[in-house]
């Protein structure tokens, strides 16, 4: 290395050192830790939490309603009435055989006399001599998953071969249940819609409040020659991050709560667990629920960003 090279390098190093001691633009263009900014994050977090809970609840109701319907629809019952001139055991065996021969049937299980008595215990009490009563016997027919057997044909065959038997496909019960779960789902979606509107409004107003404190910044940037797109971009980026932060806190808390509830539902054994399972299924909001919550988080962040951009444009217009 020549002497002149070494001198030049030393000069550059000195220059670097001097530059290192100089101040830097550490502050962002848009003030970061303001009270209104923190309030906005809190509002976004709370509203996203509530909206996510509502979304999750609607998903649970939807999944539970589907489970109830498919559970009931996968089963039909054959009732065999006792008749004076007929052997009821033979009729039951015949009805079971007819059901087994039908296509799309997964399992046929005739209930014994004792099992039938146990079904009646909640209404008639124990120890009643059921032999003296004309109590019908039942045969439970489980439909294979995905199959749609010809129930009309099965009903007709039963009528021809076992006159004392009748087929109950639970149609009216399923229809009532469908109406009830449909009403619940519609109610849930209405509540979700209202919560989403409230979320959008409160996030918009909180963003406006946070932007009001930034008016002097916008004016100064504008008057020193910053282009409108530059100013809008700075604020949009800042408020997008605030919205995402609040949304992830709120949405994340709601998802953690659902995950915890799903976990906790497994801890309840016995009757309580069965009851919970009957009401809420697996207590899981499913992939669709998680996706819906994440979409909400993104939507709310988008609203904060676009609201801030709109207010920047309005503020700049007001400067003129």
Under rule CB under 8 A, residue 24 binds another protein: yes
Q: Which residues contact 273 (CB under 8 A, 6 or more apart)?
A: 265, 266
Are 138 and 77 a contacting pair, CB within 8 Å?
yes
User: Quick count: other Cβ atoms within 10 Å of Cβ 215?
Assistant: 14
Q: Which is nearer to another protein, 39 or 119 (CB)?
A: 39
Q: How far is CA 118 from CA 4, 51, 121, in A?
A: 106, 46, 5
Q: How far is the CB of 230 from another protein (least distance, A)?
A: 6
Task: List C-alpha distances in Å: 173 to 137, 169, 180.
Answer: 20, 9, 10
Which residue, 26 or 132, is less far from another protein as judged by CB? 26
Sole window of 29-37, 115-123, 256-264, 274-282 interacting with another protein (rule: CB under 8 A): 29-37
Contact with another protein (CB under 8 A): which of 1, 5, 23, 122?
23
Query: CB of residue 205 vs another protein: minimum separation in angstroms?
Result: 24
**Do 142 and 105 touch, CB atoms closer than 8 A?**
yes
Angle between helices 215-223 and 286-319 in degrees, nearest 10: 60
Q: Which of 2, 3, 4, 25 binds another protein (CB under 8 A)?
A: 25
- Shortest distance, position 308 Cβ to another protein, whole Å: 17
Contact characters 30-69, another protein, x per CB under 8 A: -xx-------------------------------------
Instruction: Give the chain's end-to-end CA distance (angstroms, integer).
Output: 62
The closest alpha carbon to 255, from 245, 247, 244, 265, belongs to: 247
Using CB under 8 A, which of 1, 22, 35, 271 touches another protein? Answer: 22
- Binding residues among 215-234 for another protein as defined by CB under 8 A: 216-217, 219-230
Residues forming contacts to another protein in the complex (CB under 8 A) are 18-19, 22-27, 29, 31-32, 216-217, 219-230, 316, 319-320
């Amino acid at each position: 290395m020549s002497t002149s090279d070494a001198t030049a390098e030393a000069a550059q190093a000195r220059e670097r050192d001097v530059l290192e001691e100089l101040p830097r633009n550490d502050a962002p263009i848009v003030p970061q830790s303001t009270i209104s900014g923190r309030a906005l994050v809190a509002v976004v977090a709370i509203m996203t939490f509530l909206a996510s809970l509502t979304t999750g609840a609607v998903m649970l109701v939807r999944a539970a309603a589907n489970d109830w319907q498919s559970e009931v629809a996968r089963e039909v019952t054959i009732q065999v009435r006792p008749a004076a001139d007929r052997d009821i055991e033979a009729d039951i065996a015949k009805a079971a055989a007819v059901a087994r021969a039908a296509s799309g049937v997964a399992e046929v299980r005739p209930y014994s006399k004792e099992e039938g008595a146990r079904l009646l215990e909640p209404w008639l009490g124990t120890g009643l001599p059921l032999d003296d009563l004309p109590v019908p016997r039942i045969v439970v027919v489980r439909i294979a998953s995905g199959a749609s057997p010809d129930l009309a044909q099965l009903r007709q065959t039963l009528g021809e071969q076992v006159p004392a038997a009748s087929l109950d496909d639970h149609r009216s019960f399923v229809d009532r249940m469908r109406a009830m779960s449909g009403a619940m789902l519609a109610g849930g979606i209405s509540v979700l819609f209202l919560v989403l509107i409230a979320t959008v409004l409160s996030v918009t107003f909180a963003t406006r409040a946070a932007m009001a404190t930034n008016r002097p910044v916008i004016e100064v940037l504008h008057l020193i020659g910053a282009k409108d797109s530059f100013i809008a971009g700075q604020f949009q980026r800042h408020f997008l991050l605030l919205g995402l932060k609040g949304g992830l806190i709120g949405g994340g808390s709601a998802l953690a709560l659902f995950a915890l509830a799903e976990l906790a539902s497994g801890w309840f054994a016995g009757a309580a667990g069965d009851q919970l399972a009957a009401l809420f299924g697996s207590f899981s909001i499913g992939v669709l629920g998680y996706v819906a919550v994440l979409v909400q988080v993104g939507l709310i962040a988008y609203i904060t960003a676009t609201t801030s951009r709109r207010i920047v444009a309005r503020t700049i217009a007001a400067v003129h």
